[in-house]
Structure formats: C-alpha cells, structure tokens
C-alpha cells in the first residue's frame, strides 16, 4: 500500500512539474514583449531607460532558468503576481472566485452523482428493457446538448417564461437566500449535464457485470435481485464511476465555465475569460495553475480512494 501511494505520488509530482513548466513557458512563447502590454506601446518606445528599469524590477533581464527558479520561489511563498486589470494580487482574486465556483460545483456534482449512480445502476441492471432504452436514449440526448445550450434553454424557460428564477443580478448584500435563489438554476444545469455523463458510465459498467459468472453464482445461492445489485455488482461498478466522478470534480472547477458565463456567475470561469479579454497574463497563469491543482488533487484523492475500495489495485503497480 505504501509503495503504491509513493509511486503514484511520484507520478503526480512529475506531472505537476511538467505543468508548472508549461505554465511558465506559455506566456514566454508569446510573440511580443510583455512590457509592451504593461507600459503601453508609446512609453515602451519613448523611454528605453524606464523599460530597462521595469524589466529589471520584474526580473525579466535574467536568464530563463533563473526566471523559472524565481517563479517557483514566488509560488511557494504564495505569490502569484499582480493582476494589472483588477489591480489586486492574483492569489486573493483567484481564491475568492474559486469559492464562488465551489458553491455551484459541489452541490451540483453531489446531487448529480448520487442521482446518476442510483439511476444508472438500476438501468444497467435492467438493460434492454423498453423503459431503460427510452431512459438511456433520453440521457444520451441530454448528454449531447452543450452545457451552455442547456443553460440558455433553462434560463429561457424557467427564468423568462415561468418567472421562477432571477435572470441575473447576484448580490452578496442581500444575504444567503438571495444567493441560493440565484444559484439554483446553474446548479440544476451543471448537475443535469454531469449526471448524464455519469449515468452512462454507471449503466455501462453494471450492464457489463451482469452476465459475469460471479453474479450467476450469487443468484444460484438464492440472493434476491436487489441484494445482488447493491451488495455484489455495485461495489465492482463503483471503481470506474468513482474515477470519473473525481475527474469530473477536478475538471468542473474549470468546466463550470460555460454555465458561469451564461448565468454571469462570478466564478473561476468568468475570471479566466476576463483575463483573456484583458490580456491579463499573470491572472491567466494564476487561474490556470489553480484549476490544474484542483484536477491533480481530485485525481490523487481518487487514487487513494480506489486503493481503499479495491485492494487488488495496491498490488498492480510496480
């Protein structure tokens, strides 16, 4: 078990180092001098001594390796740089926005995951039945609707026509109830679209397991159908489901982007977009780093959980 964890952690460390390098190199591969963005083209041409001074201040006159070392050192100190568009440190901005995204993602995936897991298991168990085929077809169609499309349709029907939810205008001053009122629809959309994906996974793995000999044997021992499904088949189907769930949890921090855009939700997704729009590179880098860390953390958690659920996995790794 310990060896297994150690090996996995090592792989993650390697991935993380690669990602850091990527994150460091991307803006440096950009055509053009970053100082042009910072100072404006006019000052950049007219005051070469100022350019040199700012370049030295940001450490951009040093070698690439030196700069990378500096970047890592600042990261460890929790310094992600300074957003020149918002005028605040990137670290502050990013963590605040992350909290808003989590308000959406955690309940959405929690509800969606439970619903999809239960429904998917039952559907897989009865795969081939007419009701199951219609359900799966419906879910597949739902899965094909792009998230932002679903969000727009939901807004159109629920907020515009039924007038049951606000169109926009979230404000923290009006308290928790107001936040909930605004969060309901985006949570619903996110939950539905992630549930569709998870449902298909669960259904397929349960349907795969159903004809296996161990199921037939258990049936032969006289176990009831429901005991068979929930006690014997489900634990085996849980592994891929859990892996995708963890992946989804990590991805959705960035993947909620579309829903956030449609609902004007002040989360990570809208932050990234505004960083792109304003060419705010420190902010962009910070967002990207944080999202990547979320994905890595979710995967790491999944590996640990998978090892606990399935003891066989601990022996598979070299």
Partner 1 sequence: MGLIGVLVLLGAGLTAPWLAPFDPWAPTTAAQLQPGWPHVLGTNDLGQDLLSEMLYGLRLSLLVGLAAAGLSTAVGAVVGMVAGTRGGWVDEALMIVTDTVLLVPGLPLLIVLVAYLGAGFWNLILVIGLIWWTPTARAVRAAALQIRRMPYIEAARAIGASQTRIVRRHVLPNTVPVLAARFVIAVPEAVLTEAGLSFLGLGDPRYKSLGLTLHQAFAGGALLNGSWWWYTFPVAAITLLVCSVALLGLDEGSGRSR
Summarize as ranges the residues that interact with partner 1 (CB under 8 A).
11, 14-15, 18-19, 22, 26-27, 29-30, 140-141, 143-149, 152-153, 155-156, 160, 167, 197, 200-201, 204, 244, 250-251, 253-255, 257-258, 261-262, 272-273, 276, 279, 284, 287-288, 291-292, 295-296, 299
At its nearest, how many Å lie between partner 1 and the CB of residue 192?
14
Closest to partner 1 by CB, 228 vs 306, is 306
At its nearest, how many Å lie between partner 1 and the CB of residue 18?
5
Phi-psi region of 78 (alpha: psi -120 to 50; beta: other; left: phi over 0): left
At its nearest, how many Å lie between partner 1 and the CB of residue 219?
26
Dist. CA 218–CA 207, nearest whole Å: 16
Closest to partner 1 by CB, 18 vs 217, is 18
DSSP bridge pairs for 82: 89
Closest to partner 1 by CB, 26 vs 69, is 26
**Smallest Cα–Cα separation from 256: which of 168, 183, 201, 170?**
183
Cβ(257)–Cβ(268) below 8 Å: yes
Closest to partner 1 by CB, 34 vs 218, is 34
Burial 47-62, CB ≥16 within 10 A → b, else e: eeeebeebbeeeeeee
Q: Please spell the DSSP secondary structure of 257-295, one letter per residue.
A: HHHHHHHT--SHHHHHHHHHHTT-HHHHHHHHHHHHHHH
Task: List alpha helices for 77-174, DSSP H.
Answer: 90-125, 130-144, 147-154
The number of residues making up the chain comes to: 318
Closest to partner 1 by CB, 47 vs 160, is 160
At its nearest, how many Å lie between partner 1 and the CB of residue 231?
25
At its nearest, how many Å lie between partner 1 and the CB of residue 239?
15
At its nearest, how many Å lie between partner 1 and the CB of residue 6?
16
DSSP 8-state class, residue 221: T
Closest to partner 1 by CB, 18 vs 99, is 18
């Amino acid at each position: 078990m310990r060896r297994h964890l150690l090996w996995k952690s090592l792989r993650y460390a390697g991935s993380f180092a690669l990602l850091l390098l990527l994150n460091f190199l991307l803006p440096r591969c950009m055509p053009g001098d970053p100082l042009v963005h910072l100072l404006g083209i006019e000052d950049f041409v007219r005051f070469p001594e100022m350019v040199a001074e700012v370049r030295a201040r940001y450490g951009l006159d040093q070698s690439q390796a030196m700069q990378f070392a500096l970047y890592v050192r600042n990261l460890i100190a929790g310094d992600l740089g300074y957003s020149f568009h918002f005028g605040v440190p990137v670290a502050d901005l990013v963590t605040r926005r992350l909290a808003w995204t989590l308000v959406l993602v955690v309940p959405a995936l929690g509800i969606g995951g439970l619903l999809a897991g239960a429904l998917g298991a039952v559907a897989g168990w009865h795969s081939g039945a007419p009701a199951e085929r219609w359900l799966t077809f419906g879910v597949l169609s739902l899965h094909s609707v792009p998230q932002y499309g679903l969000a727009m349709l939901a807004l159109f029907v629920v907020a515009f026509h039924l007038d049951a939810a606000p169109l926009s205008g979230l404000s923290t001053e009006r308290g928790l109830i107001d936040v909930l009122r605004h969060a309901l629809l985006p949570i619903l959309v996110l939950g539905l679209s992630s549930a569709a994906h998870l449902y298909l996974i669960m259904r397929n793995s349960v349907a795969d397991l159903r004809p296996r000999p161990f199921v037939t044997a258990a049936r032969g021992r006289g176990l009831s159908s429901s005991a068979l499904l929930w006690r014997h088949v489900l634990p085996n189907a849980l592994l891929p489901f859990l892996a995708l769930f963890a992946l989804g949890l990590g991805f959705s921090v960035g993947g909620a982007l579309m829903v956030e855009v449609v609902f004007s939700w002040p989360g990570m997704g809208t932050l990234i977009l505004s960083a792109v729009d304003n060419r705010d590179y420190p902010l962009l880098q910070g967002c990207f780093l944080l999202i990547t860390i979320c994905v890595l953390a979710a995967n790491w958690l999944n590996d640990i959980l998978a090892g606990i659920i399935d003891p066989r996995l601990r022996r598979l790794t070299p």
